[in-house]
């Protein structure tokens, strides 16, 4: 992709809304955000301080929106942005930030730094300063329908295997179903056991559901790279499919950024509210369990812990549902020292795992998760995000650790009480 510096600066300027202006005005330069960022704590590199990653946007804000900044521009005393600044900061904006939002949690004046990074990426993406891997993933998402190139034919093949293994029918394009289920490409390719678990649970619980042949992909590469236009196009496909089928709910899968994109950013991206509700799969399973439709049997006493996906737990608010569900099937569940909304990121969210050049840094910052696991001494970790799962498995393999990573939906399916064995 060719670089267009002028377009990038213009787009960066357009992203400076009232929230961004208030955040920069409020920053007291305390540096607390640094100690909350694993890219800083695991490298001791001051360039990875969260607020420093926003320096290009801060300089533009100061020059365009503050009295002293404008005064300095008039006198020729300010330092305007250059193409070299975009080149220098591209790695900081994309490789060393997962937009996990842990830094935002500790900011004493409430600045949402993850939101600011998301906005800054819009300028960098417009200028062509974004990782090649993320550019290619976004192109595949827009042209093929999936960032990993998963086609409808591939999905049908995966579903056929599930149907053969379970003897269940997987509904597709079923008009008037209650729920429309989305998948991430990683679940279709790497973790088809998630699809099988879902099919078994829904059959046992009597859930009316369907998959859309027009929009089955949940991952939103537009959000990750910072392209409002691409993000809106990808959300719009899901919205059109759901409203065409007349479903009441769209189920976001075990994928963090997919959940943020469709639930929290989606209505603003397309400029109108949905005619359906979005629910995360863990919220639905928790509701089914509490209403008695999902019945579970037996416990595992294996010591295990739960890795909280940032976009689902910290920024999405789905904190208690996974713990309620784990409490039903895992007597050996123990929490990490930093868990829930303050859990440490896997290190690969926000498109970092789709960025090949970031691999060495991503594996280095995995040491934060390694320390958490070493403190507990468990050999099983449960999570609810396919991207987290892949990143964690790669880190575990690289550090030669004896830890298994499993999905929460998959664990629940292992303890599913089938209808023929129920007493209700």
Contacts of 66 (CB under 8 A, 6+ apart): none
Q: What is the pTM of this model?
A: 0.94
Tens-binned pLDDT, residue by residue, of the chain (424 aa): 789 999 999 999 999 999 999 999 999 999 999 999 999 999 999 999 999 999 999 999 999 999 999 999 999 888 899 999 999 999 999 999 999 999 999 999 999 999 999 999 999 999 999 999 999 999 999 999 999 999 999 999 999 999 999 999 999 999 999 999 999 999 999 999 999 999 999 999 999 999 999 999 999 999 999 999 999 999 999 999 999 999 999 999 998 889 999 999 999 999 999 999 999 999 999 999 999 999 999 999 999 999 999 999 999 999 999 999 999 999 999 999 999 999 999 999 999 999 999 999 999 999 999 999 999 999 999 999 999 999 999 999 999 999 999 999 999 999 998 766 666 6
266 burial level (CB within 10 Å; 0-12, 13-18, 19+): buried
Q: Bridge-partner residues for 210, per DSSP? A: 180
Q: What domains does the chain contain, in order, with CATH numbers?
A: 5-129 (1.10.1060), 134-290 (3.40.50.1860), 292-415 (3.40.50)
Coil, helix or strand at residue 229: helix
267 burial level (CB within 10 Å; 0-12, 13-18, 19+): middle
On whether the CB atoms of residues 252 and 182 are closer than 8 A, the answer is yes
Q: How far apart are CA 68 and CA 81, in angstroms?
A: 17
């Amino acid at each position: 992709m060719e670089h267009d510096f002028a377009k990038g600066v213009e787009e960066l300027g357009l992203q400076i809304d009232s929230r961004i202006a208030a955040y920069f005005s409020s920053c007291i330069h305390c540096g607390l955000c640094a100690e909350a960022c694993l890219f800083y704590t695991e490298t001791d590199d001051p360039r990875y301080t969260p607020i420093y990653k926003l320096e290009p946007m801060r300089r533009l804000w100061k020059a365009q929106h503050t009295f002293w900044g404008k005064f300095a521009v008039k006198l020729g005393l300010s330092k305007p942005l250059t193409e070299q600044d975009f080149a220098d900061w591209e790695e900081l904006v994309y490789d060393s930030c997962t937009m996990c939002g842990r830094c935002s949690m500790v900011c004493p004046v409430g600045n949402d730094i993850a939101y600011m990074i998301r906005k800054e990426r819009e300028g960098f993406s417009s200028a062509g300063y974004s990782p090649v891997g993320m550019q290619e993933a976004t192109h595949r998402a827009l042209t093929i329908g999936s960032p990993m190139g998963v086609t409808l034919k591939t999905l049908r093949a995966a579903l056929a295997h599930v149907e053969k293994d379970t003897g269940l029918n997987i509904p597709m394009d079923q008009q008037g179903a209650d729920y429309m289920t989305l998948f991430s490409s990683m679940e279709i390719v790497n973790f088809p056991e998630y699809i099988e678990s879902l099919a078994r649970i829904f059959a046992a619980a009597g859930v009316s559901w369907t998959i859309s042949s027009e929009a089955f992909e949940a991952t939103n590469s537009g959000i990750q790279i910072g392209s409002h236009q691409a993000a809106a196009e990808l959300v719009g496909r899901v919205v059109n499919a759901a409203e065409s089928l007349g479903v009441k709910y769209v189920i976001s899968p075990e994928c963090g950024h997919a959940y943020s994109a469709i639930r929290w950013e989606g209505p603003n991206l397309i400029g109108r509210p949905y005619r359906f509700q979005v629910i995360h799969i863990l919220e639905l399973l928790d509701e089914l369990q509490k209403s008695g439709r999902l019945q579970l049997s037996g416990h595992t006493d294996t010591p295990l812990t739960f890795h909280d996906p940032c976009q689902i737990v910290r920024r999405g608010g789905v904190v208690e549902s996974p713990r309620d569900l784990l409490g039903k099937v895992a007597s050996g569940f123990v929490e990490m020292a930093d868990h829930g909304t303050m859990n440490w990121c896997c290190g690969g969210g926000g498109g970092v795992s789709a960025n090949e050049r970031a691999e060495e840094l991503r594996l280095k910052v995995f040491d934060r998760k390694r320390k958490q696991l070493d403190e507990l001494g468990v050999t099983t970790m449960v999570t609810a995000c396919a991207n987290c799962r892949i990143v964690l498995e790669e880190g575990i393999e690289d550090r030669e650790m004896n830890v298994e990573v499993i999905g929460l939906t998959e664990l629940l399916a292992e303890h599913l009480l089938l209808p023929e064995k129920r007493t209700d």
